[in-house]
Structure 1
Amino acid sequence: MRSVHVTGPDTNSWVEVERPRVGPRDVLLKMKACGICGSDALYSQVGGIPPRQGATPLGHEPAAEVVELGAEATGVEIGDHVVVDTMAFTDGLLGSGGLQGALSEYVLVKDIEPGKQLRAIPKEIPWQVAALNEPMAVAHHAVNRSGATSGDKAVVFGAGPIGLGAAISLKAKGVAHVVVVDIQSSRLEVAREVGADAVINSAEEDVVARLIALHGEATDGLGHGGHAGSDVYIDAAGAPAVVKTILQAAKHRAVLTIPAVHKKPVEVDFGKILAAELDIRTSMGYPTEIFEVTDALISNTDKYAKIISHTFPFDQALEALDLAKTPGAADKVVVTFD
């Protein structure tokens, strides 16, 4: 069967590999869709994931159909449409350094455990939307880490897939007012469509002043004014300017959660923000959220569909990877299979 691998620095290639053979407790999946993640470009750039340089299968945002079961496999049925916990495979992380990747015709789930690696979804959910389950779990984990709750006022920086997913999750938790900040008007329009209460174009507006107008003025722990009344900030952009703006805006005991990957060190003047008693939290992956977010995906299919900017057939997976890694060319790219 065909599979997409990193075969060298900045090189992705089609590779012919053996179709998996199903053991007694295994489940064979036929891939139906796979999203392209920013980390795929990183894996390609460095030539793979140590210690598997030059031989890394790609794809870790899958949606699939169950097509074969081992005699002792339980928990799913042939024909089920499923989303996948790519971190729960016994042969390594799917598409992130493990022996398999979801940009392949078939993937084998070895030693299936009911409810652990797979969850069945309604068959009316479009495959490309089902493929968002993995990245939306990342966004949902960031929201959980933030502690945002009903009645809070929240700000999401970055209207890419993770930021938009976070905005949807925040509203689902009953957050009273969600603002999304970005520099691209087209992304901000999508943010409105998925439920953001307000948007800010940081290339055109004073973000702190606008947040004060939207969320009211607040103080730091010493009573100094000029701070926004926002309770929660989520950095889904990964730009140093975002952190600087949040530190300037943050009121006493606001929470900043960072799921974004910062590729360079960010300078923080802790002396300057000491009085704010800002709570800074990082967020990675989805320890419990991979199937928690599935219910939201099922309930809000139309909203999540708006996150997808481009789809490509599997035959054009290399082109999809190239587009996804080109800055500003696409928001969310999904590969679909026949």
Structure 2
Amino acid sequence: MKSVHVTGPDRVEWVDVEKPVIGDADVLLRIRACGICGSDAMYTHIGGIPPHVGATPLGHEPAGEVAEVGARVEGFEIGDHVVVDTMRLNDGLLGSGGAQGALTPFVVIRNVQPGMHLKKIPAHVPWDVAALNEPMAVALHAVNRTAPQPGAKVAIFGAGPIGLGALLGYRRKGAAHIVVIDVQPERLEKALEIGADAVINSTTEDVATRLLELHGDAPPSFVREARPDTDVYLDAAGVAVVPQTVSVLAKSGATLGIVAVHKQPVELDFAGILLSELTVVWSMGYPTEIFEVTDDIVENWERYAKIISHRIPFEHALDALELARTPGAAEKVTVVFD
């Protein structure tokens, strides 16, 4: 069967691989959809990821249908629709350096344990929306890391898929007011559609002034000048100006979460940050959130569907990867299988 692999720096190709054969404790999944992640472009640029540099199978945002079930497997039947914890496979991270990737028709899950590797979803949820489960878990982990309290005022920098997923996550956690900040009007319009209370275009508006208007003045502290009464900031943009901006905006006791990948070192004024006692937390992957987010996707799949901008057939998966890595060309690209 055909599989998409990184075969060298900035080179992605079709590779012929054997269809997996299952054992008594395994499940074979027919992949029905797989999202394209920004990390796929990173893996491509560097030529793979250890231990498979030069031959890395791609695809780590899958949704699939159970195609075969081993004799000793309980809890799953042929035809079940499922989402996958791609960090728990026994042969490595799916599509992120492991032996398999989900940009291929079939993936085998070895030694399946219900509640650990797979979670069933209703058949009415579209495959491409189900494939958002993995990135939405990333977003929910970022939300959880910032520990928002009910009634919190939140500012999210970056209206890409993770930022929009965090918007939905903060709303579930009881945030009272959520502002989304970006430089692209189309992204900001989508944020409003999905449920942002307000948006800020940082190319035409002053972020500090607008946040003061939207969230009010913070109580006095060691910081004497007026600062927004924003409780939580989330960096889902990955540009240095975001943490630098937050470091001079944050009120006493605010939290900044970093979920975006920064490709260059960021310089921060620690003396200035000291005054606000800003808490900075970091978010990577989804230690517990992979199936926590599933029920909300099932219940609100039409809202999540708005995050997807492009749906590309599997036979054009190489084009989908190129589209996703082209700045400004697409928001969220999903590969769909027949």
TM-score range, shorter chain: over 0.9
Does the 8 Å contact 1:220/1:227 carry over to 2?
A: no
- Which runs of structure 2 are paired with 1:254-265 in the superposition (5 Å)? 254-265=254-265
Runs ≥4 residues deviating over 2 A = none
Tell me the equivalent position of 1:53: 53
Query: Are positions 1:290 and 2:290 aligned together?
Result: yes
Q: Which residue of 1 aligns with 2:235?
A: 235
C-alpha deviations, 1:122-177, integer Å up to 9, x for none? Answer: 10000000000000000000000000121010000000000000001111111000
Partners of 2:220 and 2:131 in 1: CA distance = 42
Supply the distance in 2 between the matched residues of 1:113 and 1:223 (Cα, whole angstroms): 52
Q: Aligned equivalents of 2:333 and 2:193: distance in 1?
A: 19
CA distance in 1, matches of 2:222, 2:105: 60
Determine whether 1:193 maps to 2:193: yes
Q: Does 1:18 align with 2:18?
A: yes
User: What is the distance in 1 between the residues matched to 2:274 and 2:220?
Assistant: 9
The aligned amino acid for 1:25 is A
CA distance, structure 2, for counterparts of residue 78 and residue 45 of structure 1: 38
* Cα distance in 1 for residues equivalent to 2:193 and 2:246: 24
Per-residue CA shift, 1:162-213, capped at 9, x if unaligned? 0000001111111000000000000000000111000000000000010000
- Give how far 1:223 is off: 4.6
Partner of 1:33: 33
How far residue 50 of structure 1 moved from its aligned partner, in angstroms, is 1.7
Instruction: Quickly say closer, same or farther: Cα 1:275–1:52, change in 2 above 3 A.
Output: same
Within 2, Cα distance between the matches of 1:180 and 1:100?
Answer: 36
Is the CA contact (8 Å cut-off) linking 1:218 and 1:225 kept in structure 2?
A: no
**Equivalent-residue separation in structure 1 for 2:50 and 2:86 (angstroms):** 18
Structure 1 counterpart of 2:67: 67
Are the equivalent residues in 2 in contact too, given 1:220–1:276 (CA < 8 A)? no
What pairs with 1:139-218 in structure 2 (closer than 5 Å)? 139-218=139-218
The one-letter amino acid of 2:307's match is: I
Letter in 1 for 2:333: V
Matched with 2:85 is: 85
Unmatched tracts of structure 2, length 5 or more: none
In the alignment, the residues of structure 2 paired with residue 134 and residue 149 of structure 1 have an alpha-carbon distance, to the nearest angstrom, of 24
Aligned letter for 1:136?
M
The separation in 1 between residues aligned to 2:9 and 2:80, in whole angstroms, is: 37
8 Å CA contact 1:69, 1:78 repeated in 2: yes
Shift of 1:73: 1.2
User: Counterparts in 2 of 1:289-328, with a 5 A limit?
Assistant: 289-328=289-328
Q: Does 1:122 align with 2:122?
A: yes
Cα offset for 1:38? Answer: 0.4
> Is the partner of 1:289 in helix, strand or coil?
coil
Report the Cα distance in structure 2 between the residues aligned to 1:50 and 1:132, rounded to whole angstroms: 25
Deviation for aligned residue 1:51:
2.4
Tell me which amino acid in the other structure corresponds to 1:171. R
Deviation at 1:75, TM superposition (A): 2.3
CA deviations 1:36-76 (Å, max 9, x no partner) are 00000111111111221111100000000001011011221
- Provide the aligned length of Structure 1 versus Structure 2: 338
CA offsets 1:91-133 (integer angstroms, 9 cap, x no match): 0000000000000010000110111110000100000000000
Separation in 1, partners of 2:124, 2:149? 31
CA gap 1:315/1:218 in 2 versus in 1, 3 angstroms: same
Give, in whole Å, the separation in 2 of the partners of 1:322 and 1:329: 10
How far residue 335 of structure 1 moved from its aligned partner, in angstroms, is 0.1
Mapped partners of 2:273, 2:47: distance in 1: 40
Question: Are 1:219 and 1:225, in contact at CA under 8 Å, matched by a contact in 2?
Answer: no
Letter of the 1:179 counterpart: V
The CA deviation at 1:217 is 1.1
2:293 match: secondary structure: helix
User: Per the alignment, in what secondary structure is the counterpart of residue 18 of structure 1?
Assistant: coil
Please name the residue that 1:249 is paired with: 249
CA contact (8 A) 1:217 1:225 kept: no
Q: What CA deviation, in whole Å up to 9, does each residue of 1:266-308 have, x standing for no partner?
A: 1001001211000000000000000000011111111110000
Percent identity over the alignment is: 61
Q: CA deviation at 1:229?
A: 0.3
TM-score when normalising by structure 1:
0.99
Question: Given the alignment of the two structures, is residue 331 of structure 1 paired with residue 337 of structure 2, yes or no?
Answer: no
The CA distance in 2 between the partners of 1:57 and 1:44, in whole Å, is 10
SS of the equivalent of 1:324 reads: helix
- State the SS of the aligned residue for 1:119: strand
* Structure 2 Cα separation of the partners of residues 75 and 278 of structure 1: 46
Alignment partner of 2:210: what SS?
Answer: helix
